[in-house]
Amino acid sequence: MGQALLEVDDLHTHFHLKKKTVRAVNGVSFAVRRGEIVGIAGESGAGKSVACLSILRLVPSPGRIERGRILFGGANLLTKSEREMRELRGQTVSMVFEDPLNSLDPAFTVGALIGEALILHKGLSRRNARTKAGELLRLVGIPDPERRLDNYPHELSGGMQQRVMIAIALSCDPALLIADNPTTALDVTIQIQILDLVKHLRDRLGMGVLWITHDLGVVAKLCDRVVIMYAGEVMEQGDVYSVLKRPRHPYTRRLIDALPKLGRPEQRLMPIEGRPPDPANLPVGCPFAPRCQKARAECEAAEVPLIETGDGRAVRCLFPED
């Protein structure tokens, strides 16, 4: 357990639309330590991506960070100037998106795309950037990297494209890598390869990783710790093994129950009934209460606090399991 690299504290990010305010992120707190892979898991619309874009201060308009602190290496990112943020982006904190093909500019070759950040942030010359781009491609496991430098993004397979994205993200030796669902567009075998690669790179480079996903399987395979988000709030967090083995929040429990189990084909899957609440009109109490089988009157009466349980875990539930 190293020191905290990134600390997100009581983050609120809201989108102010004409008639309503969408509260996408509502008091989210979590931390990433050096060399640690933290997964953020939850349904679509749980605020995972917005939370991560908030870290880079790139929330699309009309979104705004309302409240909270984002400490990175001890400094609050929310008080930095735009210029300081640009220095940080891509260099100290880098991000990989979900859709690799559309994230790569079709007009440039792979070598030029990787070189861009190196030239921008490290002031390398064209030639040196190219050499380093080749090294990076080798690092992310692309065979024959020298030749691939001259390929255009669409000439590569999906897995290769995602490797290129990771190479770009790693180009300036970031301290923190944020990955937004980077394996959803890939098939399962390639997905495993990418996960192994990220783990391997984490071990080698010692960076912190924040991995957004809606796949608990990925969390189990990759992450050290997991943050379960729902309706813009953290429902539960802790180390992956104990959270998945002994979930305390009913929502986590239901998520796990909704997964197919290997070796038990006869068991029916348990979908979670209902839909997530409208983020423009969140309930007063626990946002999961309307769908929760264990909900009681107290759950909907007042906001439920996130309670730390001492063993590195925290749960936002009045009636946690065990």
Partner 1 sequence: MSVVNVPLKDGTAAAPRTALDSAAEARMFRRPSEWRIFWEAFSRDRLALAAALLIVLVCLAAALAPVLSPYDPTVGNNDLRLAPIGTPGHLLGLDGQGRDILSRLLWGGQVSLVIALLPVTVASVISVVLGLVAGFFGGKVDMIIMRTLDVFFAFPAVLLAVAIAGVLGPGMLNVMLSITIVLIPYISRVAYMATVTVKSELFVDQARVSGARPRQILLHHILPNTLSPVIVYGSTLVGIMIVLGAGLSFLGLGITPPRPDWGIMCSDGRNFLSVAPHVSAVPGIVLILVAMSFNIVGDGLRDALDPKLRR
Q: Rule CB under 8 A: is residue 147 a binding residue for partner 1?
A: no
Subset of residues 8 to 67 that bind partner 1, contact rule: CB under 8 A: 56, 58
Segment interacting with partner 1, rule: CB under 8 A, options 1-9, 68-76, 119-127, 280-288: 119-127
Q: What residues have CB less than 8 Å from 166, skipping those under 6 apart?
A: 96, 140, 182, 194, 197, 198, 201
Q: Are 65 and 54 in contact, with CB atoms under 8 Å apart?
A: yes
Query: 169 exposed, middle or buried (CB, 10 Å; 0-12, 13-18, 19+)?
Result: buried
Contact residue for partner 1 among 45, 90, 145, 320 (CB under 8 A): 90
Q: Are 230 and 276 in contact, with CB atoms under 8 Å apart?
A: yes
Q: Rule CB under 8 A: is residue 168 a binding residue for partner 1?
A: yes
Query: 207 exposed, middle or buried (CB, 10 Å; 0-12, 13-18, 19+)?
Result: buried
Q: Rule CB under 8 A: is residue 122 a binding residue for partner 1?
A: yes
CA–CA distance, 101 with 96 (Å, rounded to integer): 12
Q: Rule CB under 8 A: is residue 130 a binding residue for partner 1?
A: yes
Q: Rule CB under 8 A: is residue 105 a binding residue for partner 1?
A: yes
Q: Rule CB under 8 A: is residue 197 a binding residue for partner 1?
A: no
SS3 5: strand
Question: In this complex, which beta carbon is closest to partner 1, that of residue 176 or of residue 229?
Answer: 176
Rg (CA), the chain: 20
Segment interacting with partner 1, rule: CB under 8 A, options 72-80, 97-105, 215-223, 249-257: 97-105
Which residues sit at the interface with partner 1, rule CB under 8 A? 56, 58, 85-91, 94-95, 97, 99, 102-109, 111-112, 115-117, 119-132, 135-136, 139, 150, 152, 154, 165, 168, 170-171, 173, 175, 204-207
